[in-house]
C-alpha cells in the first residue's frame, strides 16, 4: 500500500515536471526554436530530435559549450536555476 502510494506520487511528480518543462519551454525558448523545436533559421539546426540538452544548456551557462552565436544562448540560460535547466532539458530531449 505504502509502496503504491510512493509510486503514484513519483509518477505524479514526473508528469508535473513534464508539464512544467513544456510551460518553461513555451515561455523562454519557443520564440526562437519554434513550439516543436524544429525551427532551423535561428540556431542553424533544429533542437528537436537531438539529445544531451542538459549538457549543452549547462555548457552555455558555464561557458564550455557553444558556437558562433553562443552569446545569445548564454543570455537565455543565465537566469535559469539548475532545476529549471534540467526540467527544460528533459522536455527538449523529448521533442522528436
Interacting residues with ligand HEC (CB under 6 A): 28-29, 31-33, 42-43, 47, 50, 53, 56-57, 66-70, 72-73, 76, 88, 92
Rank residues 18 and 50 by Cβ distance to ligand HEC and give the closer one: 50
Contact 18, 91 (CB under 8 A): yes
**If you count them, how many residues does the chain have?**
96
Q: How far apart are CA 5 and CA 20, in angstroms?
A: 22
Q: Taking the complex as a whole, how short is the minimal distance between the CB of residue 12 and ligand HEC, in angstroms?
A: 24
Shorter beta-carbon distance to ligand HEC: residue 28 or 38: 28
- Pairwise CA distance, residues 56 & 28, whole Å: 16
Amino acid at each position: 500500500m505504502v509502496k503504491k502510494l510512493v509510486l503514484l506520487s513519483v509518477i505524479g511528480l514526473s508528469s508535473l515536471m513534464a508539464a512544467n518543462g513544456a510551460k518553461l519551454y513555451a515561455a523562454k525558448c519557443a520564440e526562437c526554436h519554434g513550439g516543436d523545436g524544429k525551427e532551423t533559421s535561428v540556431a542553424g539546426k533544429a533542437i528537436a530530435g537531438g539529445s544531451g540538452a542538459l549538457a549543452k544548456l549547462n555548457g552555455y551557462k558555464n561557458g564550455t559549450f557553444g558556437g558562433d552565436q553562443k552569446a545569445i544562448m548564454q543570455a537565455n540560460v543565465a537566469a535559469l536555476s539548475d532545476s529549471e535547466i534540467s526540467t527544460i532539458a528533459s522536455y527538449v530531449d523529448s521533442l522528436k
